Amino acid sequence: MSERLLVLVRHGQSEWNLKNLFTGWKDPDLTELGVKEAIAAGGKLKEQGLSFDIAFTSALTRAQHTLDLALKELGQSNIPIIRDQALNERDYGDLSGLNKDDARKKWGEEQVLIWRRSYDVPPPGGESLKDTLARTLPYYVQEILPCVLRGQRTLVAAHGNSLRALIMVLERLTPEQILKRELATGAPVVYRLNADATVASVKDLAG
């Protein structure tokens, strides 16, 4: 049986990360630094001697671009890539496109913090982390996990909050714990799974 390998990587810095804007389902591309982070992610995976059979990403450019650059660095641009909006970033609704400081002026620091850091309170017109989980997890269980359990080495390039949903399940974290979990841009997290889909080992390649 080949190894059950699952690697998660958050996209590199986007143009709106740089401008401190709420991004959500808006579609800016990577910055120059983001491109370097994506290439570096591929380099880190290469250093670990890892290769992949299949990849998944969101419907958003910044995640797709990150995946393409990482795979190119690995010399694996020809593997199947499945794109699906189930892996999109959390939808920030009315906050999307707003500078975070401007949002604080409009709604107050405390309210914006609740929207950003609570588990189940969505911003106006948007999704909470709980809503994002409800969208992302079924996709993981139905589409991604079966590939991993079949022994297909699987790479997922997505977003801070959609990846938090997967990490919450993989690492069996509580809502409080997952809110505190930070994911560096362009830093792969390498999981090896047991046959029952629990985690045998995890290695964070940040830094």
For the chain, counts of helices (H) and of strands (E): 9, 6
Per-residue three-class SS string for 102-169:
HHHHHHCHHHHHHHHHCCCCCCCCCCCHHHHHHHHHHHHHHHHHHHHHCCCCEEEEECHHHHHHHHHH
Block residue for tokens 């699952």: 6
At 105, give phi and psi (nearest 5°): -65, -40
The catalytic residue positions are 11, 89
- Nearest-Å Rg of the Cα atoms of the chain is 17
Q: Are strands 54-57 and 81-83 parallel, antiparallel or unpaired?
A: parallel
